[in-house]
Structure 1
Amino acid sequence: MAPSDGPGLQDGGLTTGEVARRLGVAPTTVRSWDRRYGLGPRVRSRGRHRRWTAADLARLERMCALTTTGLPPSEAARLAREQAAPDTRQARAGHPGVRGGPRPGDVRQECRGLARAAVRLDPGALDELLATVLAERGLVAAWTEVIMPTLQAVGRKWDAADERYTEVEHFLSWHVVGALRRSAPPAPSGRPDATTLLACVPGENHTLPLEVLAAALVERGMPIRMFGAALPAEALTEAVRRTGPAAVGLWAQSRTTASAPLARHIAAVEWGVRGSRRRPVVLTLGPGWAGQTVPGLPHPSGLAEALTALRPVVGASG
């Protein structure tokens, strides 16, 4: 990541922005904790820029952990100051960006920052972190390397905590959708016959991966029509007939919602004048199709594979 590359690290620490990303908070929050509670760098460098060491970072992590339990910030700060910091060598090895550790921008730290912001239900920090990772990594890498693993980690916490993290998963998903839409360029109009129609199959409400694909297609100049969650079969058929898309992406998260007969039916829908009728290319998307055999219909295994399969069918407008 550019903000933490260069001489600053060699001089012995992280910038405030880099610390904020690792903690999953806004940089203004880090500065506020310094002013209000005395949790700033123990060693100040000359000039205006703070440099945070591994011990400083460990103390702030303790502050984050305590506030997550519901303690008031002032009490959490007092305990963070009083409790002994972890062994400096261990902390140094565990925090990218500190001399001797992995390179800054380590995906594990970015995932941890997103997860912490989500657990605290902190909208400002979460939006800032998502915007940063999308801008610096690009949509496909941000999704596959950072955002999706974070969602999976939160989901595992949910399973282990008897659904106590349900609100965290929903909160994170909603903010991911918002970040995708803010980062995407205006949707291209394109040719009507070069559109990709995207929809979840009937009974399927997991729309987030389809939102990611929609944003990636728009980013590449490929026009889309998004119909979202649980589109009834009759409505799906009518939408295909009315719009005449080049491709249809059907998302199924669960095997109970994936329907091979529906996919074959949509692939057989025709439109156009007699003698030159057309049919869409239907892609079965999502893990729900893993147990369904639909001969002749592509089943991309991930986001990059879906984009590769759609490009020769839909092309790009620019």
Structure 2
Amino acid sequence: MSGEDDTDDRRGGGLTTGEVARRLGVAPTTVRSWDRRYGLGPDAHTGGRHRRWTPADVARLERMCALTATGLSPAEAARLARRGPASAPAPGPPPGSAPPDGPPAAPDGVPAPPPRAARPRDRARTGLQLGAVRQECRGLARAALRLDAVALEEILATAIADHGLVTAWTEVAMPALQAVGRKWESSGEKYVEVEHFLSWHVSGALRRSAPTVPPGAPGGTVVLACVPGEYHTLPLEALAAALAERGVPVRMFGAALPVEALVEAVRRTGPAAVGLWAQSRTTASRPLAQHVAAMEWGVRGARRRPAVLTLGPGWAGRAVPGLSRPGSLAEALTAFEAVVTR
């Protein structure tokens, strides 16, 4: 902890549970659960209902976080965290010699977390390359590695409520998802359960946050769908929720919508705009986008066509003449709103 943090601890007689949770990047309910289940509560008890956590108490919880991030079960991590660091550490190298390879060993052969000063700032003590991200994103990554559903739900709901859906997606959820995906790709499928777990909870949070928007006037609806063969839906789900948050009626058709079904959906809804998501260049289809853009409906003399927006990295290098390709969630929101309100 910094000197400023220590001063705050002394002035207030320790940190509250909420302050500890924010410092660790976990939900307050997780801190309370570790106290009840594993005896990782404050050593000293003060009067009143609110418990105070000393620097030593917080250090024990930090060790719990670091150990669970290595893949240990919460129960085993708690046992080692209660034991604390080894009481008789091995002597260090003689002055002037090179540092030993790898971190020192902790009890039972579990790798101990490196000293605070040596921890890379962009790894959030998880081994995930996060970069310069919000604290909520670091907490989300830790909770995902622990498979902590309660913490995930609370962090996501709080981020959406505090910052709005667009910021919560772009600065909290998406960097964590990308970091977990990179970890999975580089670890031989070791973290596939973490990626699926985090994706499922992010999807649920997006749906819960989106208000129900009544059907708009004819030509005022947005249709969103993944192109055939495309199953990456989360970015499109974020767009659907953000449009609903702004009062735009959305019809979301999700993953890998067949061509015939897409054409029928457009014909039946008569949308103002259609968003076609492609994560991969192998799924992005120019002929499909052009076909949808050429569809018409309405009475003779007042025929209408939808504005088609090609969404996702799959369309990079495969631009369709005359069709918009927003590069971000914010740009897509602006483009769809402009079409609907035209």
Give the shorter-chain TM-score range. Answer: 0.7 to 0.9
Which residue, out of 298, 311, 316, partners 1:285? 311
Moved more, 252-261 or 47-56: 47-56
Matched, 1:149 2:175: yes
Match of 1:28 in 2: 29
Matched, 1:218 2:254: no
3-state SS of 1:168 partner = helix
Matched, 1:179 2:205: yes
How far apart, CA to CA, are the structure 1 residues paired with 2:116 and 2:148?
31
3-state SS of 1:193 partner = coil
Match of 2:82 in 1: 81
Q: How high is the sequence identity, in percent, across the aligned residues?
A: 74
The aligned runs of 1:42-191 (5 Å cut-off) are 42=43, 47-52=48-53, 55-67=56-68, 69-71=71-73, 73=75, 75-84=76-85, 90=117, 107-191=133-217
Q: Provide structure 1 residue ranges, at least 5 long, that are not aligned to the other structure.
A: 1-6, 95-105
TM superposition shift of 1:19 = 3.0
Q: 1:221 to 1:192 in 2, by over 3 A?
A: same
Match of 2:293 in 1: 267
If the length of structure 1 is used for normalisation, what is the TM-score?
A: 0.83
Matched, 1:235 2:236: no
* Counterpart residue type for residue 268 of structure 2: R
* Counterpart residue type for residue 77 of structure 2: A
More helix by share: 1
Residues 58-97 of structure 1, C-alpha deviations (whole Å, 9 max, x = no match): 3213223434534461x43232133339899749997xxx
Q: Provide structure 2 residue ranges, at least 5 long, that are not aligned to the other structure.
A: 1-6, 87-112, 122-131
Higher relative contact order (CA 8 A, sep 6+): 1
Q: 1:44 to 1:315 in 2, by over 3 A?
A: farther
Given that residues 22 and 112 in structure 1 are in contact (C-alpha distance below 8 angstroms), is that contact kept between their aligned partners in structure 2?
A: no
Residues 31-62 of structure 1, C-alpha deviations (whole Å, 9 max, x = no match): 24334544234566664333445553332132
Matched, 1:304 2:305: no
Match of 1:97 in 2: none
Q: 1:61 to 1:292 in 2, by over 3 A?
A: same
Q: How many residue pairs are counted as aligned between the two chains?
A: 299
Matched, 1:192 2:182: no
3-state SS of 2:247 partner = coil
3-state SS of 1:272 partner = coil
Task: Give 1 or 2 for the bigger CA radius of gyration.
Answer: 2
How far apart, CA to CA, are the structure 2 residues paired with 1:114 and 1:261?
40
TM superposition shift of 1:181 = 1.4
Given that residues 187 and 221 in structure 1 are in contact (C-alpha distance below 8 angstroms), is that contact kept between their aligned partners in structure 2?
A: yes
Matched, 1:39 2:40: yes
